[in-house]
C-alpha cells in the first residue's frame, strides 16, 4: 500500500474546476500525480493540467510504467506527502493495478457519456465493459465507489453492477 496516497480517482477530465478543488481540499493533498501514457508524452497538455491545479499543489504527469516502477519501490516517493492519484480512464487504472500497485480504494468520477452506458449516479455512466474492468480492480482488494463531489452520496461498485443487471 502506498501510505502517501490519500485519494485515487478516475476522471476523464483530470484536473478541472470545483470538483478537483473540493477533492484536493477534502483529502488534504499537496501533490497530484496524473497517470496517463498519452499525456506523459504531450508536454504542452501536461503543462496545461499543471497550471490548472489549485494553488500550492504540485502536479506530476507520468506514464503508467514509470508510476508502477516508482510505486513498487520500497522507498517510493509515493509513501510520503499527501497525494491524489488521477487516472484518465478505467483501462489505465486497471493496467496499474494488474502491474502490482495496491490501493485501498478507488473513486470513479466522470467517465464521459455514450451509447450503451447506464447512469450510476448523476454525472457518471458506465457500460458492461467498464463494470467488468472495475470488478477486476475490486477483486484485487480495492474498494471501488462512484462519487462526483464530496457532498454527494457514494455508490459502491456492487450497487452499480446491480443497476446494470450483472451479478
- Paired strand residues for 9: 86, 107
d(C-alpha 96, C-alpha 83), whole Å:
16
Show me where the domains of the chain are located: 5-163
Catalytic site residue 16?
yes
Q: How many CA atoms lie within 13 A of 42 on its CB side?
A: 12
Return the C-alpha cell found at 143.
Answer: 474498494
Q: Which fold, 5-163?
A: Fructose Permease (3.40.35)
Catalytic residue (choose from 10, 13, 16, 22): 16
Quick one: pLDDT at residue 25? 86
- Say if CB 142 and CB 106 are below 8 A apart: yes
Predicted pLDDT of residue 145: 96
What confidence score (pLDDT) does residue 14 get?
85
pLDDT confidence of residue 167: 64
Q: What is the pLDDT along the chain (167 residues), one digit of tens a residue?
A: 788 899 999 998 888 877 678 888 888 999 999 999 999 999 999 998 888 888 888 999 999 999 999 999 988 888 887 999 999 999 999 999 999 999 999 999 988 777 778 888 888 888 889 999 999 999 999 999 999 889 988 999 998 888 777 76
How far is residue 79 from each of residues 4, 17, 36, 70, 135, measured CA to CA in Å? 4, 27, 20, 10, 26
pLDDT of residue 77: 87
Amino acid at each position: 500500500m502506498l501510505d502517501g496516497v490519500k485519494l485515487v480517482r478516475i476522471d476523464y477530465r483530470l484536473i478541472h474546476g470545483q470538483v478537483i478543488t473540493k477533492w484536493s481540499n477534502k483529502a488534504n493533498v499537496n501533490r497530484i500525480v496524473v497517470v496517463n501514457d498519452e499525456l506523459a508524452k504531450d508536454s504542452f497538455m501536461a503543462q496545461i493540467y499543471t497550471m490548472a491545479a489549485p494553488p500550492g499543489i504540485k502536479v506530476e504527469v507520468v506514464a503508467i510504467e514509470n508510476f508502477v516502477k516508482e510505486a513498487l519501490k520500497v522507498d517510493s516517493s509515493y509513501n510520503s506527502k499527501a497525494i491524489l492519484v488521477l487516472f484518465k480512464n478505467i483501462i489505465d487504472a486497471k493496467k496499474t493495478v494488474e502491474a502490482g500497485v495496491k490501493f485501498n480504494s478507488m473513486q470513479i468520477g466522470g467517465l464521459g457519456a455514450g451509447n450503451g452506458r447506464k447512469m450510476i449516479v448523476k454525472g457518471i455512466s458506465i457500460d458492461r465493459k467498464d463494470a467488468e474492468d472495475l470488478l477486476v480492480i475490486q477483486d484485487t482488494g480495492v474498494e471501488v465507489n462512484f462519487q462526483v463531489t464530496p457532498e454527494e452520496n457514494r455508490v459502491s461498485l456492487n450497487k452499480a453492477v446491480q443497476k446494470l443487471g450483472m451479478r
